[in-house]
Structure formats: C-alpha cells, structure tokens
Structure 1
Amino acid sequence: MVLVLLLIYVQNNMLLPPAPVPDADRVAAAISHVLERARAGGAGGAHPEQQHRRRPRRTRNLRLGTSARGPPRRARSRQTDTRLLRRHPAGLRAAGVGPLVVAGMQSDFCVRAPALAALKRGHKSTLVQDAHATYDDEFSAAEESARVDEELSAAGVKLIGSEEVVFA
C-alpha cells in the first residue's frame, strides 16, 4: 500500500503577507520538511483545489506557498470532505492507496474533515501536528489547532510531528 500525503490549501495567500496565518514561518517550514520527506520516500500525493476558482493556475495565490514544487496529483473539491475520498474510496484502495498523511491550512474545516473522512472510509489517517494552521477567530489560531488535534486524536487519527514523518 502506498502512503499518500494530502496537502490541503497550502497557498501563498495563507503563508505570506499581507494576511498569513499566525506562526506561518514555522508552519511553512514544517510543510516543506514533510513534502521533502514524502518525495524522498516515494509517497503519492494530492492537494485539493477548489473548482469554483476561475483564476488562472499561475496566479500568486494558487502556487504552493512553500519552496517545495513538483507535480502532485490534484484532487478537485468543492467541499471540505474532499471528493478524492468520497468519490473513489474503493478505487483508492484498489490502486494501492493506504494510509493518508494530512497537512495544510484551515485546521478547523479543510484539514479536519478529510482526516475524519479518511477514517470513515477505512483509511488510516495521520495528522502532522506542526504542519497545519488556521486563522484567529472565536478562539486563537493556536487554541483552535489544539482543539482539532484533540478531536482528531479522540476519533482515531494518529498525531505526529514533522520530524517523525517517515515515507518508506
């Protein structure tokens, strides 16, 4: 089974000024580290992309926000439950896709839902704790990310740090 890295909305507009997520430098470094490890280990990859965006791909906001580049497979999605998981759960397993490693932006919605959806569909799911973030809202970004970590851990998602991720 192939371990797959699911990067969610890793975009310049969330990691660079004028409106980055809190602690964007640390999160971007962790995401870059995980992506480098995934490429070195031969992991498969996908990052969801909203279909309703009609801007050209080469706009500043749609480029990967980290120094890592390459041809990850794009999974088109309108909802945070990631159509990659909803449309093809049996096909993913038949294609040899096994555990998912999840990282990216908007911990409280866009990261949380696919991690839970993977579990619901029988895939092991791992969240890289230092490689996901959100904006301050009702709770601070740090509090919200910690709440998401706690909820996902209770649901059965494995939590690890970017230094612990192994794609081999």
Structure 2
Amino acid sequence: MTDLVAPVDALVVVDVQTAFVSGADAVPGAERLLGRVSELLERAREAGAVVVHLQNDGAPGADDEPDTPGWELYLPVKDGPRERVIRKPRDDGFDGTPLGEVLVGAGVRSVAICGLMSEMCVQATARTALARGYRVVLPYDAHATYDIPAVPGVSEVVPAHVVSRVAAWALGDQPANTVSTDSVTFTASST
C-alpha cells in the first residue's frame, strides 16, 4: 500500500502538449506519463479540486508555436468553473498569466504539479508556488523531460529520468517530491 500525502485542492498540468507526448519526438516514457497525468486529472475532477492546464506559447518555428498541431493540449479539457486553460509566454506558469489570481480566487492552499518539462516549466512553476506559500506536491512519476545530450569531455548523456529527479530535488525539501501519483489525493478548495 502507498502512503498518502495530505489532500491537495488544485492540480496544475504543465504543457502536456501534442509535440512533446506523441510521435517520434515524444519525451521518453510519454505513454506512462500520460497515464499518470490522466489518473491525477480523474481524481482531481472527482473531488471537485481546481484544475489548471498550462499551455506554453512557443516561439515562431518551435514545436509548440501557437496554433500549430504540436501546440494543442493532448489530454481533453473539461472547461467549467473548476477547470480551465491558461496560456503562458514563459517557463513559469505564474509569470505573465492569471494563474496566481485563479488560485487565490478559488481559495487554493495546496497544489499538485505535473507535466513537462521537469527542469524547465514544471520546476519554474513549482518554485514560484513554493515562494507564494503553497504546499506543493510534485509526484515523481507525473513529470518528464528529454535526455540531456552528451558533451565530450564534460559528461555522457544524462538520461531523462535522472534529469527529472534532479529538477525536483533542486526545489529543496519543501515540496513532496518523493511521492508517486498513487499517493496524491484531492479535495475541493474552501471557496
């Protein structure tokens, strides 16, 4: 049996966009990641938790350039008062977006964060959530990234799963980052 962490009242799904989770250029383990994120979405929706899907607006020519097939969110969104999409121009989901206002307006005190890329948008969003006083849960099996290529004389290839683990660990000991998706439960926020 898995040890459960205290329930969280919001789920932030970071950049689960078609370019990163489908086709030949998908992150390693994309199918498993999609399964774990889908499990979190189902539980969050059932509990009445706030759900925010962040969607990165990539630069012109990028795989996630707005209004291209790769930019589209891969998992279905159930738009409503407790679930919405927020487009973002930078790594940090709070920077230049209404994410902070949405969470405050809903009375959110704790967030589970999942998605892509571990060392970029997931970590940046988690870091700001921590700085704003949220309790953060970052399930280790619900965020992912790519391998870091080898650099001759510096290092061999750094596998994606190691990059993800280091990105979470670099957040310090405040987030619950050593828990699995199975450990995460949800509750409705106070408002």
Using the size of structure 1 for normalisation, the TM-score is 0.84
Q: Tell me the number of residue pairs that the alignment of Structure 1 and Structure 2 aligns.
A: 163
8 Å Cα contact 1:85/1:117 also seen in 2: no
| Change in CA separation of 1:95 and 1:43 when aligned onto 2, cut-off 3 Å | closer
CA distance in 2, matches of 1:40, 1:95: 17
8 Å Cα contact 1:76/1:84 also seen in 2: no
After TM superposition, list the pairs within 5 Å mapping 1:32-71 onto structure 2.
Answer: 32-51=38-57, 55-56=66-67, 59-66=68-75, 68-71=76-79
> Aligned partner of 2:29: which letter?
D
Shift of 1:114: 0.7
Could you list the runs of 5+ residues in structure 2 that have no partner in the other structure?
1-7, 60-64, 150-157
| Change in CA separation of 1:86 and 1:158 when aligned onto 2, cut-off 3 Å | farther
After TM superposition, list the pairs within 5 Å mapping 1:1-168 onto structure 2.
Answer: 3-51=9-57, 55-56=66-67, 59-66=68-75, 68-71=76-79, 72-83=83-94, 89=100, 92-138=103-149, 139-152=158-171, 154-159=172-177, 160-168=179-187
CA distance in 1, matches of 2:16, 2:85: 12
Shift of 1:10: 0.4
Shift of 1:50: 3.1
CA distance in 1, matches of 2:146, 2:136: 23
Percent identical among aligned pairs is 30
CA distance in 1, matches of 2:114, 2:98: 21
| SS in structure 2 at match of 1:70 | coil
| Change in CA separation of 1:70 and 1:63 when aligned onto 2, cut-off 3 Å | farther
| SS in structure 2 at match of 1:76 | strand
Higher helix share: 1
Worse-matched range after superposition: 42-51 or 68-77 = 68-77
Higher strand share: 1
Shift of 1:83: 2.7
Bigger radius of gyration among the two: 2
Shift of 1:94: 4.8
Could you list the runs of 5+ residues in structure 1 that have no partner in the other structure?
none
Using the size of structure 2 for normalisation, the TM-score is 0.75
